[in-house]
Structure 1
Amino acid sequence: MLSEQEEYLAKEIVDCAFKVHKQLGPGLLEKVYEICFCHELSKKGIEHKRQVDIPIFYDNLVFNEGLRLDVLVEDLIICELKAVDLVNPLWQAQVISHLKLTNKRLGFLINFNTPVIKNGIKRFVV
């Protein structure tokens, strides 16, 4: 079960994605959606970080390269943003792996390159 804060932020994240998609529509670069999505989060006073490196712990070593989150919201929720025709199932596995590696419970895969944004939002809870 998710906390009230996680559920509140989840609704706000979806609202931000809807606003961006309504304003811009499909067909732009991922980076454009990321910038505008983060702007919408800022307008709501929601803390977030863009392009966050995830350390890898392996064989008693720490590697600080290789994995990166698109957006981390309030240090609680991972948002991976895409602007593609077809969502690769590997990206869904990637979100789940990122959740496990960061000990987060909630993540979103948001594809802005879809006619109806609700069809482009997938929510993951681990």
Structure 2
Amino acid sequence: MHTMGPKSYAILRHKLQQEDPNKQEPSKAKLYKNSRIRNPNKTYKTSYGKTKANMEKMEALESKENEEGASNKDPYDEVINKAEHGGRVRLYGKGVTMNKLKKVGNKSNFVFPQEFLQSI
């Protein structure tokens, strides 16, 4: 379960894209890690063991890819290999389907108002 509260994946994805020097869209692995950061001062109902293990596996795959050379497969897809439900794409939020992503070409047509972006 993500720990972002009321923030959406679109906001997190935009924030990570703005932090990137090349302004590229973040990978699913990076989005997964940033959406599950826990506050050490807060008590959670669920355990963090499985999530932490998944993150360690992703980091190991990323370091292995850096040593061997670039791979076009995202470590998230190798670690989290759950079957997709019809009409659902993980880490994109509600209402995003593969057809919508294919039509747009992985670029979001959602535009944030400038006032909102400046407040962030």
Same fold (TM over 0.5): no
Give the TM-score normalised by the residue count of structure 2: 0.29
Greater strand content: 1
Greater helix content: 2
Determine which structure has more spread, i.e. the larger CA radius of gyration: 2
Give the TM-score normalised by the residue count of structure 1: 0.28
